[in-house]
Each structure stands twice: as structure tokens, then as C-alpha cells.
Structure 1
């Protein structure tokens, strides 16, 4: 059995959010979403991505030991 590290979990979570952001960008580009809807949906995703990136940097600074 293989254990998943915190780095991998953060990476998977960041990947999901990036995928959602890209999907929203495509929907906006194809005019399925209005600018107001797009902004409302993308803002929390960008905030969550920034928080994950910040927490990843904190883990990197603290080191494994």
C-alpha cells in the first residue's frame, strides 16, 4: 500500500481547481457565461488556489523535519 504525501494532496487539489478555472474560462470564451457570472464563479476558485499555494510554500519552508 502506498501512502499519499501532503505535497501530493496539495498538488491534486491545486490541479482540480486549475481545471475548474480553465473550464470556466472556456465557457466564458464560448459565451456560455456572462462576465458577471464568470467573475462571481472564478473569484472563490482563484482565492482557494492562492491559499493552497501559500500553504504549500509554508510546508516547503518548514522542511520535512
Structure 2
């Protein structure tokens, strides 16, 4: 279990607040009140950030390989 997950389990109110702020930042200040919409949007944002993280990692690795040739 990562330290971030452990912290979220120990501090559920702060964790919820941080997730809401992340969604507000991504959506330009909007945060849905409906829990289902909130869960859907947070899932989409999380998947998108994972995708970009993996792409960035892959691109960095490719550039390192190309530079070392």
C-alpha cells in the first residue's frame, strides 16, 4: 500500500476535499454535486492522467534510447 493511499485512509475528509479540488481545477471551477457524476468525472480524469503519465514515460525512454545511439 502506497503512502498516499494510507494517508487517504487515515484522513478521509482531507482526501475527499483534495479530490474535489483536483476536479475543480480540471473542470475550471465546476464540481458536480451528484455523487455519480462526481465519481464518473474523477475516474475519467484519473485514467487520462495515467495515460499521459505512461505516454510521457514512454517518450522519455525513447528519447534516452535515441540519444544513447
Q: Give the alignment's TM-score, normalised by structure 1.
A: 0.48
Greater Rg by CA: 2
Tell me: higher relative CO, structure 1 or 2? Use CA pairs within 8 A at least 6 residues apart: 1
